[in-house]
Amino acid sequence: MRLQLAVRVDYRTAPDPAGLLGDSFTMRQLRLLHEAVLNERLLPDTFRRTMTPQLRATGETRVEGRGRPAEVFQRM
């Protein structure tokens, strides 16, 4: 139980402390991971504002379904 709590605390403050997404990922992938770990829905805009300062944009994009391509990020 303490380990679960520690993991959730880490995921509240850091982009992907356990490195579950690999080297590069989209903001949507990161948010979905956080929602799964925290077991709660997160507001996309608020999540982006919180995480963006801790990430480095790669300049690449990925197509993830309909709409415009998603920007790809890496942890700093």
Query: How do residues 2-40 score in pLDDT, each as one tens digit?
Result: 767 778 888 988 999 989 999 999 999 999 999 999 999
Cα-Cα-Cα-Cα dihedral of 23, 75, 37, 4, to 10°? 100
pLDDT, averaged across the chain:
92
**Domain 2-75, architecture per CATH:** Orthogonal Bundle (1.10)
- Beta strand 55-62 with 70-75 is antiparallel
Burial 42-52 (b: 16+ CB within 10 A, else e): eeeeebeeebe
Residues 52-61: tens digit of each pLDDT = 999 999 999 9
Domain boundaries, the chain: 2-75
